[in-house]
Amino acid sequence: MISAQLAISKARRDLTLGAIVRWAMIAAAVAALMMQPLIDGAGVIGVSILFGVGALWMVLSFRSMRGSRVAADSSTFIAAGQFELAERSIAEALDSFSIFRSVKLLSLHHLAALRHAQNRWQDSALLCQAVLMQKPRTTSGLDRSSRLLLADSLLELGDLRGVHENLVRLYNQRLTLREALNLLVVQQDYLARISAWEPMLWQVNTKVQMAELLPTLQSARTQALMALAAKNTGRLDWFDWLRKRVELLIDVQHLCADRPMLSELWKQ
């Protein structure tokens, strides 16, 4: 199993190395252009250097793309519960050299997702923090995915202040539907832990419709938390409606084992 610390230090080293190689190639290309008249009057050497740099860039880009594809495979393995295969893919991607930052950051993010799926919250949080420290581009969506994963891991670790800080940052960003759904799951869980029952039911219709789009466990858990909020705020129609929905979706005992506070919903 890849250690989180080792993966982070390896990724940092590769990011530095990748940046050096990238800048060295750019410098060589610029030098070939500028110094061309001094080196060789005909420009053959300049063109050759440029062509060499271009070819090297293409080879390294191709290798980087392959690393990115290997890392991307891991998300399919994680979704299918094949953690061994996912671990192998990520290790391969982390070991391969890449001139692009995004490939290394993506590999670290996939490792964080794997540790999250394995309920290794501490490792997952560490890896997400390492990704966010590198300030990935907002357009890639990696920062938002890592922050969501971090918020969820911190929630499991009981670090409510950390969850709040990360949720606030996510509220300021434009999210995709998938991200908005994941945010709903973390947000409702967080609000339930701080007993903020009223905010949990703001725009209840929209939240219920969104919860319907989630996978079974997350959908049932989110609706059960909302049922708990409805019970605690005296909205018994919603309490009864949501609780019965949850019963149709999942084995209640399994749900209560996952979130003990929910057993209050089925107390006689």
Partner 1 sequence: MSEPSVQFLDVPTLLEKSQPRGSGVRFWQLAGMFLFIVLLSTYITSRGAAAARALSLASGMIMLLLVGAMGVISFTIFRRTQEEHLRLEAIEELIRLRRWTEAGILLQQMLSQPTRTSHARVGGLIFLASVLARYNRFDDAIAVQEYLLEHFQLDGGTAHGLRLARAMAMLREDHLFDADRAISDLRRDVARAGRVMNEAAAEETNEVQETEAPQTLSSGLALVEIYRDVKTGHPTEAIATFEKTLSSLREQLGHRVADAYMLIAKAHDLLHQTDQAQSYYESATRLAPAIELHRRYPETAGLAEKYQPAQAPGEAA
Q: Report residue 178 as tokens.
A: 């998938």
| Binding residue (CB under 8 A) for partner 1 from 208, 228, 229, 265 | 208
Per rule CB under 8 A, is residue 42 in the interface with partner 1? Answer: yes
The footprint of partner 1 on residues 130-169 (CB under 8 A) is none
Helix (H, G, I), strand (E, B) or coil at 201: coil
Per rule CB under 8 A, is residue 198 in the interface with partner 1? Answer: no
What mask, x for binding partner 1 by CB under 8 A, covers residues 2 to 31?
Answer: ---------------------------x--
Handedness of CA 180, 119, 125, 100 (dihedral sign): negative
Per rule CB under 8 A, is residue 1 in the interface with partner 1? Answer: no
Question: Beta-carbon neighbour count of residue 110 at 10 Å?
Answer: 24
Residue 88's φ and ψ, nearest 5 degrees, are -65, -45
First vs last Cα of the chain: how many Å apart? 45
Cβ burial 53-80 (10 Å sphere, 16+ → b, else e): beeebeebeeebeebbebbebbbebbee
| Binding residue (CB under 8 A) for partner 1 from 7, 10, 36, 148 | 36
The footprint of partner 1 on residues 70-129 (CB under 8 A) is 76, 80
How far apart CA 38 and CA 229 sit, in angstroms, is: 77
- Contact segment (CB under 8 A) with partner 1 among 12-20, 147-155, 163-171, 210-218 equals 210-218
| Binding residue (CB under 8 A) for partner 1 from 189, 226, 238, 255 | 238
| Binding residue (CB under 8 A) for partner 1 from 130, 245, 255, 265 | 245
Cβ–Cβ < 8 Å for 113, 149: yes
- Contact segment (CB under 8 A) with partner 1 among 88-96, 163-171, 189-197, 239-247 equals 239-247
How far apart CA 38 and CA 240 sit, in angstroms, is: 84
Per rule CB under 8 A, is residue 59 in the interface with partner 1? Answer: no
Contacts of 206 (CB under 8 A, 6+ apart): none
Residue with smaller CB distance to partner 1, 249 or 261: 249
Q: Which residues are at the interface with partner 1 (CB under 8 A)?
A: 29, 33, 36-37, 41-44, 46-48, 50-51, 76, 80, 176-177, 204-205, 208, 212-216, 219, 235, 237-238, 241, 244-245, 248-251
